[in-house]
């Protein structure tokens, strides 16, 4: 009977195959845009693109029943996972990804969206498959990038004797190499010189990765990222908080991975090893010893202290160079992971030591609970449990004292195939001093925060989807520029309409209220409520395989309780044209008008391969960019980008040594990818 059912399913798949459309990189960009649009504009997103590149190169095996594997797909809710599991139990392993169409909850749009990230294969034959692909996987990839801003900033015009004068030329040059020797061994390096830097002060990062089939599952030597559990005890690398993917609140990374980002500080340098203790138990241990940028000062008694870590990665003048690698950070830790069916439990212990310097004694009241020791110990226990249509997850972490106990826990539930809900509660103690974390939260430092998040995703009618979240949070102690315990709320509602993958339209409203010191010099600071509201209408249309059009209207209001309301707006039109099977053009024309920094507007931009940007715009002006992607042959891929912003109400751009004495900023970039 099962085999008859299987045959019927295959027939249905063949019949329905035409409904699934090929996924292109534009769809990946849409996904990335929704994740990164709420983050700061200077973030390096290379890490994120590598994660998605990995998903494409190493798709999730749908026939796997491990929760860690299946939950790598952000679009899969517990009800999808449950339905998939039930289907496999009843009919056996999937034979094609299109078989998903006969499973409840998987519609063609969802399958098209995840198509590049999923695969079906017999898990028992994985090793044989790797052996078979030994020759095929031999691959080298090298990417060269050169870019510069045409208009020179003041830093280049200062006399060489000035301590703020830029020492290098205005070109940013970068090279990224990755070699795959065989399925087990790969290696790579990143070399980068920022604009204004001298070549010898540039950035070099390298790694060697071994993926084994025996007891040593993975070994990394060089630069890497590591994140465990919900990232509360330890989590390095890029992560995102609240986004229109209201159900995606659980951290999915639970391992070490090579660092391929150009971020010059936020990674680990040393070794990492994943040891397979038994079929269900893995032990990940790592050691990192790296110099990081910091403000180090010597007090009157001759004691050196560091007051803050720096993350700009710019070493363009003698002032910036004096802060380079001033602090030694040594981190060693271990993570034990037990996997049993749909339950995954982990325990993490991390020890961090900051050189021989002392931390600066608190100068401000808000720093009262900050760590005063040069060593930090973090311990944590985390879990993920997938049961029926529910996915539970959480982590408890602390330093060596119980007062620092902090936790985050949540649930993602599919109450109906048209109704999903997510809940997350977090309590990050003000006494908790994390080493490197990336847990869910309003702020990135994961301490002194309590909050409750709730998200819902409803499909009220065919083609319609409603996403909404509300996050209420409170800071029990003072923060920078907040001279009293404060609170806030963040709410978002988005209605999407999608029609046969041909066009989609969403409107979004977001309102966030925070408390901050009233601006200006006061005898005694008082908190004021600051509310930022955003309305967006975004339309995307694909009339055929060659053309994509996008248009957006966005309005921002920034209200101050004791001040005036300022406004910002943005309107843009994108045109993506596949002019030839080898050439693709992406262009944008955008106007913006933001009265001040608080009402600034953000817009995701397509950039070169492996890079994305979300620049912020204020003042009034016009932005244009043209990105050309040319696949020269099987091995070479060339990208060229021209971007110009012209301001109508400002005669200069930027400030300090980055200031440009012109109302126009023109950037050109060229990138060559060579794959062997």
Of 648 and 661, the one with the shorter C-beta distance to another protein is 648
CA 26 – CA 34 distance, rounded (Å): 13
Give yes or no for a contact between 229 and 382, defined as CB atoms under 8 angstroms apart: yes
Of 232 and 569, the one with the shorter C-beta distance to another protein is 569
Give yes or no for a contact between 9 and 1, defined as CB atoms under 8 angstroms apart: no
What is the nearest approach in angstroms of another protein to the Cβ of residue 557? 12
Q: Is 575 in the site for another protein (CB under 8 A)?
A: yes
User: From residue 586 to residue 605, what is the string marking binding to another protein with x (rule CB under 8 A)?
Assistant: ---x-x-x------------
Give yes or no for a contact between 55 and 32, defined as CB atoms under 8 angstroms apart: no
Q: What is the DSSP letter of 430?
A: T
The length of the chain is 676
Q: By CB under 8 A, which span of 11-19, 188-196, 469-477, 498-506 interacts with another protein? A: 498-506
What is the nearest approach in angstroms of another protein to the Cβ of residue 549? 5
Q: How far is Cα of residue 99 from the mean position of the Cα atoms in its chain? A: 31
SS3 category, 608: coil
CA 409 – CA 431 distance, rounded (Å): 19
User: Contacting another protein (CB under 8 A), which of 543, 580, 632, 650?
Assistant: 543
Of 116 and 548, the one with the shorter C-beta distance to another protein is 548
Residues 281-310 close enough to bind another protein by CB under 8 A: none
User: Contacting another protein (CB under 8 A), which of 112, 310, 343, 571?
Assistant: 571
CA 556 – CA 564 distance, rounded (Å): 14
Write down the H helix ranges in 92-153.
108-114, 126-132
User: Contacting another protein (CB under 8 A), which of 89, 161, 356, 544?
Assistant: 544
User: Count residues contacting another protein (CB under 8 A)?
Assistant: 25
User: Contacting another protein (CB under 8 A), which of 10, 142, 150, 549?
Assistant: 549
Q: By CB under 8 A, which span of 156-164, 264-272, 376-384, 540-548 interacts with another protein? A: 540-548
Among candidate residues 221, 216, 226, the one with its CA nearest the CA of residue 189? 221
SS3 category, 481: coil
Two tokens at 225?
């990222």
Of 204 and 579, the one with the shorter C-beta distance to another protein is 579
CA 269 – CA 205 distance, rounded (Å): 9
Q: Is 585 in the site for another protein (CB under 8 A)?
A: no
Q: Is 495 in the site for another protein (CB under 8 A)?
A: no
Residues 551-570 close enough to bind another protein by CB under 8 A: 551-553, 555, 567, 569
Q: Is 539 in the site for another protein (CB under 8 A)?
A: yes
Q: By CB under 8 A, which span of 121-129, 230-238, 539-547, 605-613 interacts with another protein? A: 539-547
Q: Is 573 in the site for another protein (CB under 8 A)?
A: yes
User: Contacting another protein (CB under 8 A), which of 206, 321, 583, 622?
Assistant: 622
Among candidate residues 177, 284, 170, 276, the one with its CA nearest the CA of residue 220? 284
Q: By CB under 8 A, which span of 11-19, 255-263, 538-546, 663-671 interacts with another protein? A: 538-546
Two tokens at 210?
């071994």
What is the nearest approach in angstroms of another protein to the Cβ of residue 465? 18
What does the angle CA 141 – CA 55 – CA 635 come to, to the nearest 5 degrees? Answer: 25
Residue in this structure with the two tokens 């989590």, named with its chain if needed: 235
Among candidate residues 608, 602, 592, 600, the one with its CA nearest the CA of residue 649? 592
CA 247 – CA 80 distance, rounded (Å): 13
CA 29 – CA 37 distance, rounded (Å): 11
Residues 502-531 close enough to bind another protein by CB under 8 A: 502-503
What is the nearest approach in angstroms of another protein to the Cβ of residue 665? 16
User: From residue 638 to residue 657, what is the string marking binding to another protein with x (rule CB under 8 A)?
Assistant: --------x-x---------
DSSP 573-591: EEEEEEEETTEEEEEEEEE
What is the nearest approach in angstroms of another protein to the Cβ of residue 577? 10
For another protein, the binding residues (CB under 8 A) are 499, 502-503, 539, 541, 543-544, 547, 549, 551-553, 555, 567, 569, 571, 573, 575, 589, 591, 593, 620, 622, 646, 648
């Amino acid at each position: 009977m099962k085999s008859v059912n299987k045959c019927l399913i295959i027939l249905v798949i063949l019949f329905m195959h035409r409904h699934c459309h090929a996924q292109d990189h534009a769809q990946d960009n849409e996904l990335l845009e929704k994740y990164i649009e709420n983050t700061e504009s200077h973030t390096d997103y290379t890490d994120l693109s590598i994660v998605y590149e990995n998903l494409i190169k190493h798709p999730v095996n749908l026939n796997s029943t491990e929760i860690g594997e299946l939950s790598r797909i952000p679009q899969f809710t517990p009800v999808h996972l449950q339905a998939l599991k039930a289907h496999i139990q009843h009919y056996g392993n999937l034979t094609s990804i299109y078989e998903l169409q006969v499973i409840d909850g998987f519609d063609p749009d969802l399958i098209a969206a995840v198509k590049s990230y999923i695969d079906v294969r017999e898990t028992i034959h994985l090793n044989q498959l790797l052996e078979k692909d030994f020759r095929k996987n031999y691959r080298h990839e090298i990417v060269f990038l050169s870019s510069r801003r045409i208009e020179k900033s003041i830093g280049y015009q200062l006399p060489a004797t000035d301590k703020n004068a830029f020492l290098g030329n205005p070109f940013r040059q970068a090279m990224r190499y990755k070699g795959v020797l065989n399925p087990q061994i790969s290696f790579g390096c990143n070399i980068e010189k920022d604009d204004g830097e001298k070549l010898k002060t540039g950035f070099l990062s390298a790694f060697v990765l071994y993926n084994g089939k025996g007891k040593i599952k993975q070994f990394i030597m060089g630069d890497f990222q590591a994140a465990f559990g919900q990232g509360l005890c330890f989590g390095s690398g890029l992560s995102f908080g609240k986004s229109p993917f209201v159900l995606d609140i659980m951290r999915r990374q639970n391992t070490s991975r090579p660092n391929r980002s150009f971020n010059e500080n936020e990674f680990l340098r040393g070794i990492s090893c994943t040891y397979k203790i038994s079929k269900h138990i893995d032990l990940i241990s790592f050691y990192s010893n790296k110099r990081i940028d910091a403000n180090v000062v010597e007090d009157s008694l001759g004691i050196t202290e560091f007051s803050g870590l720096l993350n700009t990665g710019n070493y363009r003048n003698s002032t910036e160079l004096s802060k380079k690698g001033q602090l030694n950070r040594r981190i060693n830790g271990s993570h034990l992971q037990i996997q049993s069916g749909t339950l995954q439990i982990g325990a993490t212990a991390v020890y961090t030591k900051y050189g021989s310097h002392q931390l600066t004694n608190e100068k401000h009241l808000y720093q009262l609970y900050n760590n005063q020791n040069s060593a930090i110990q973090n311990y944590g226990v985390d879990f993920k449990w997938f049961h029926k249509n529910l996915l539970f997850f959480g982590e408890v972490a602390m330093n060596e004292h119980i007062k620092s106990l902090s936790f985050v826990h949540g649930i993602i539930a599919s109450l109906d195939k048209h109704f999903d809900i997510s809940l997350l509660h977090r309590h990050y103690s003000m006494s908790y001093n994390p080493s490197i974390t990336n847990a869910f939260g309003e702020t990135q430092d994961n301490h002194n925060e309590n909050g409750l998040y709730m998200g819902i995703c409803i499909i009220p009618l065919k083609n319609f989807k409603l996403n909404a979240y509300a996050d209420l949070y409170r800071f029990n102690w003072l923060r920078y520029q907040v001279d009293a315990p404060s609170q806030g709320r963040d709410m978002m509602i988005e209605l999407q309409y999608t029609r046969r993958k041909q066009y989609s339209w969403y409107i979004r409203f977001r309102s966030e209220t925070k408390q901050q010191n009233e601006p200006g010099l006061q005898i005694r600071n008082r908190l004021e409520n600051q509310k930022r509201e955003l309305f967006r209408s975004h339309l995307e249309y694909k009339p055929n395989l060659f053309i994509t059009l996008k248009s957006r209207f966005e309005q921002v209001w920034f209200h101050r309780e004791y001040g005036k309301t300022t406004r910002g707006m943005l309107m843009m039109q994108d045109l993506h044209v596949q002019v030839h099977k080898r050439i693709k053009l992406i262009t944008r024309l955008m106007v913006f008008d933001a009265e001040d920094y608080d009402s600034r507007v953000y817009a995701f931009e397509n950039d070169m391969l492996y890079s994305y940007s979300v620049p912020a715009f204020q003042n009034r002006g016009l932005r244009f960019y043209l990105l050309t992607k040319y696949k020269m042959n099987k091995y070479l891929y060339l990208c060229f980008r021209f971007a110009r912003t012209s301001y109508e109400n400002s005669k200069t751009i930027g400030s300090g040594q980055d200031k440009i004495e012109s109302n126009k900023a023109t950037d050109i970039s060229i990138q060559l990818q060579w794959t062997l």
